[in-house]
Amino acid sequence: MGMYIFQWFQGFVYQLRTDESGQDLTEYGLLVAFIAIVVVVAIVIFGEEVSALFGGLGASIEEWLS
């Protein structure tokens, strides 16, 4: 029984290493994760400046409309 499980696991690992059908999906997933990390870091670094910029822009528009 133990040898059967080992052979099944060995075949499963071999299939994962040689099967490239999901490679594109994995690459796109990694790309999306990288972009998400960059966006979060940018929000943490530039969040206050962007908030102040849009706050000033909103105030200018309100002043212009009134």
Query: Which amino acid is located at 19 in the chain?
Result: D
Per-position b or e across 4-22, b if 16+ CB within 10 A of its CB: eeeeeeeeeeeeeeeeeee
- How many domains is the chain built from? 1
Question: How far are the Cα atoms of 26, 65, 66 from residue 54, in angstroms, in the given order?
Answer: 37, 16, 18
Q: Is residue 13 part of a domain?
A: no
Q: What is the span of the domain harbouring residue 38?
A: 22-66
pLDDT tens, position by position, 14-23: 887 777 666 7
pLDDT digits (tens, 9 = 90+) for 23-53: 777 888 899 999 999 989 988 899 899 899 9
Tell me, yes or no, whether 39 lies in a domain: yes
Residue 26 lies inside a defined structural domain of this protein: yes
This prediction has a pTM of 0.50
Residue 15 lies in a domain: no
In a domain, 40, yes or no: yes
Residue 42 belongs to some domain of the structure: yes
Q: Is residue 12 part of a domain?
A: no
